[in-house]
Amino acid sequence: MSKKFYITTPIYYVNDVPHIGHAYTTLACDVLARYKRSRGFDVFFLTGTDEHGQKVEKAAQAQGETPLELADRVMKRFQSLWEKLNCSNTDFIRTSQERHKIGVQQMFKLIKEKGDIYLGEYEDWYCTPCETFWTEKQLLDGCCPDCGRQTDKLKEESYFFRMSKYQQALLDHIEANPDFIQPRSRKNEILSFVKEGLRDLSISRTSFSWGIPVPEDEKHVIYVWFDALNNYITALGYPHTESGNFAQFWPADVHVIGKDILRFHAVYWPTFLLAAGVPLPEKVFAHGWWTVEGQKMSKSLRNVVEPNMLIEKFGVDPIRYFLLREVPFGLDGDFSHTALVNRINSDLANDIGNLLSRSSAMINKYFNGSLPKPAVDLDVDAKLKDSVPETVARIDENMTELAFNKVLIAIWELIGAGNKYIDETAPWALAKDPEQQERLGTVMYNLMELQRIIALLVAPFMPETAEKMQAVMGLEPSSQSLEKNEAWGGLTPGITIIKAEPLFPRIEVE
Ligand code: ME8
């Protein structure tokens, strides 16, 4: 049986439109999904939308549409962005789908029958005009954070999940599985939260109706997190656990999320699963937060970075590259146009772009576009070839850690080695001496062969660029698995090398 890999993004709320922060998470998952496929894994890559709740119900009302109509409209924007960004997700789950509802209700029933869901009373601050409950912490000077009016302490009947019962089991799991919460620096934050004591969790509401009804008590709808988190298993066919995707892919290998929702994924989710007797995910990875030109991204500051606009201006691959290269995954980062343009001009146009233009132009000039046979091997060649397996090993190691920026640094060192190889071997000088024809041929072969492998390595990050590079060498992208093609010597002498167009046009700085 082939190795499996199950990776998920958060499901995004439909009360916001997609921005660069959402794109970041989904792209990171896409890179890992593509890399794992290239390593021979059977990959299930899930994303989707979180569509229920009072906010969506109200926003729809305000616009004179049904909540489902609103969700249909916004979810399409997410879906079309993922297509544009070349995301290779296997499935797209919506919490309004029947398959999700069935799974969530089943889980609710099962935990309730076990006695870990019970009916109680939920007490919090209620804003009557907004019909919204707020926690003490959410209030602004005691008033509703949305409309600024007075709130009252109110009670509502609610179902509770006995989360307190699973405190010790969760602590034991976190201690026994040091990789469960990543980056490791975030583990302590979760440990101290759990050690302070887990309270039972309110998981239903009667104050709105846009949600999944509680089985056998339909005046309640299941409250957001119990609904949303279950997407990770309902998409695989839960409650059918014996066969199909659930049997093949669960437990998830990694849930990739932003640091804002770590607590829900590292505390609520595992306790739900413990109660339901479902194995826990292997890993939850919380990445950092993007600011824009030094400021928090927000609608009121009108600085929300819209991915479609960026794609139009700079192209898909530069955005994919920039987001994963600029900031170590796990840390916060700042998005600035200057940094983006600098990366495009230096790393993309200069480094990888020039290597292909220079080498393909020389093969066309000196060998009429026919790839020569390697013959004379010198130390400088051996050094270049040896750097390939070293780089691949670094990539494998860093991909496991989701250290995308380190993977890209390693690839760019290899690109740098290629450019240095041209300077050291000075093909233009060899070309002047007819006796050096074989040597010149060897240099040209090695340069192209290096780039055949570089194309494989950059493919998870920049799939279109990899295809363009492969097209220059007449290679079919579909047959390019890293697993089968990483060994030196894949290019057959005599094939035609096309003179490459620049991979990335330089951006003039205004
Ligand atoms: O929280 N920087 O959905 P959401 C980096 N529906 N990442 C960012 C970001 C930023 N400035 N802004 C958003 C939800 N993100 C729930 C999740 S999962 C069962 C339910 C990314 O639409 C980041 O991944 O608010 C964050 O976790 C996610 O968007 C929140 O998306």
Secondary structure of 231-291 in HEC code, one letter for each residue? HHHHCCCCCCCCCHHHHHHCCCCEEEEEHHHHHHHHHHHHHHHHHHCCCCCCCEEEECCEE
Integer Cα distance of 415 and 396 in angstroms: 17
Integer Cα distance of 227 and 240 in angstroms: 18
User: Sheet holding 290-292: strands in order across?
Assistant: 295-296, 290-292, 333-335
Integer Cα distance of 360 and 469 in angstroms: 10
- Beta strands 290-292 and 284-287, pairing class: unpaired
Contact between 127 and 146 (Cβ < 8 Å): yes
Which residue, chain included where needed, has tokens 């920039």?
Answer: 322
Q: Residue 127: in which H helix or E strand, if any?
A: strand 117-127
Q: Is 229 in the pocket of ligand 1 (CB under 6 A)?
A: yes
The yes or no reply on domain 338-485 and CATH 1.10.730.10 is yes
Integer Cα distance of 319 and 309 in angstroms: 11
Q: Whose CA is nearest to atom 19 of ligand 1?
A: 229
> How far, in Å, from the CA of 288 to the mean position of ligand 1?
11
Integer Cα distance of 224 and 228 in angstroms: 6
Q: Is 228 in the pocket of ligand 1 (CB under 6 A)?
A: yes
b/e map of 325-356 (b: 16 or more CB within 10 Å)? bbbbbbeebebebebbbebbbebbbebbbbbb
Per-residue pLDDT of the chain (510 residues; tens, 9 = 90+): 579 999 999 999 998 889 999 999 999 999 999 999 999 999 999 999 999 999 899 999 999 999 999 999 999 999 999 999 999 999 999 999 999 999 999 999 999 999 999 999 988 888 877 777 788 888 999 899 888 999 988 888 999 999 999 999 999 999 999 999 999 989 999 999 999 999 999 999 998 999 999 999 999 999 989 999 999 999 999 999 999 999 999 999 999 999 999 999 999 999 999 999 999 999 999 999 999 988 998 877 788 888 999 999 999 999 999 999 999 999 999 999 999 999 999 999 999 999 999 999 999 999 999 999 999 889 999 999 999 999 999 999 999 999 999 999 999 999 999 999 999 999 999 999 999 999 999 999 999 999 999 999 999 999 999 999 999 999 987 656 888 899 999 999 999 999 999 999 999 876
- For ligand 1, mutation pick of 8, 9, 24 (most atoms within 8 Å of CB): 24
